[in-house]
Amino acid sequence: MAVLLVTNDDGVHAAGLVALAEALEPLGEVWIIAPEREQSACGHALTMHLPLRPRRLGERRFSLNGTPSDCVNLGVLGFLPERPALIASGINHGSNLGDDVTYSGTVSAAMEGTLLGVPSLAFSLMDGHDQFTAAARVARLVAMRALVEGLPPKTLLNVNVPAGEPRGLRFTRLGHRVYSDKIVEHVDPRGRTHYWLGTGEPTWEALDGTDMGAVHDGFVAVTPLHLDLTNHRALAVMTDWAPALDGQLRRREAAVPAAPAVRKRTRRR
């Protein structure tokens, strides 16, 4: 029976993790290794300077004093009885759409699995909805397909499930969120200033073909992500810079030119 590794970034006691593990039970031997506390928005962080201490919570269920990517490393590199055939991360309490994937511990766990050569999936459910029945069914169907068909090399699937019963499923590209971030300043009872990173309600470009557009229309969005972050279109254009920069480098030019005028831009992420 295939070994399946399940993790998340909401913590080992999260309802979405339990729903995902139960959904995958018919497909293989499910092992849970998940952070002992919430790690939302931790990105692809790894613990490099502290020991990792797994704690048994039940049969094939462990918490770890680390990040989602730590959990994946522990599972793949020898903690499990055999190398997992599939890694499933989630079900996240909240969507991971568009630019969210750069922050998401849920998606980063699947990225880590992909880096380690294991087919990996990330599952998320729209914000404010804790009914995981439909999302769990989607996870089982996608995982079953991935086990049978495999995934393209160095590719993971990021799956976002809308609220309620999905109207269907679409394969999509990443959309773009527009954030209204700000720093919120407060003064504590001892008169010391402190700050919160205040994230206002984001808006997004719900264009046809994007993950956001699909979820907005009530469809499951499945987005194949790969690990090559190269902007190939920009690479083709910016090679025009090479002769001038190469010449300056070879001549060891040290003169500092006058600062060019820079057009101010609205901050977008």
Domain at 63, CATH number:
3.40.1210.10
Give the whole-angstrom CA distance, residue 144 versus residue 85: 11
- With respect to residue 237, please indicate whether it lies within any of the assigned structural domains: no
In a domain, 267, yes or no: no
Domain total of the chain: 1
- pLDDT band, very low/low/confident/very high, at 206 (cuts 50, 70, 90): low
Q: Would 248 be classed as within a structural domain?
A: no
30 domain residue, yes or no = yes
CB within 8 Å of 160: residues ≥ 6 apart = 95, 96, 97, 124, 125, 126, 211, 214, 215, 220, 221, 223
pLDDT of residue 251: 86
The pLDDT assigned to 47 comes to 87
Q: Is residue 184 part of a domain?
A: no
Model pTM score = 0.88
pLDDT at 200 over 70: no
Residue 247 lies in a domain: no
Residues contacting residue 224 through CB under 8 Å, at least 6 positions apart: 151, 152, 155, 156, 157, 158, 171
Predicted pLDDT of residue 214: 95
Question: What type of residue sits at position 185?
Answer: E
Instruction: Give the per-residue pLDDT at 1.
Output: 86
Structure confidence at residue 185 as a pLDDT band (50, 70, 90): confident
Residue scoring higher pLDDT (222 or 237): 222
pLDDT tops 80 at residue 227? yes
Per-residue confidence (pLDDT) for residue 263, from 0 to 100: 65
What distance in Å separates the CA atoms of residue 190 and residue 193, rounded to the nearest whole number?
Answer: 9
Judged against a pLDDT cut of 60, whether residue 269 lies above it is answered with no
Mean pLDDT of 66-95: 96
- Domain around 220: 3-175+205-226
Whether 231 is in a domain gets the answer no
What letter represents residue 247's amino acid? G
**Inside any domain, residue 29:** yes
Mean pLDDT of the chain: 90
pLDDT at 162 over 70: yes
| 258 band by pLDDT with thresholds 50, 70 and 90 | low
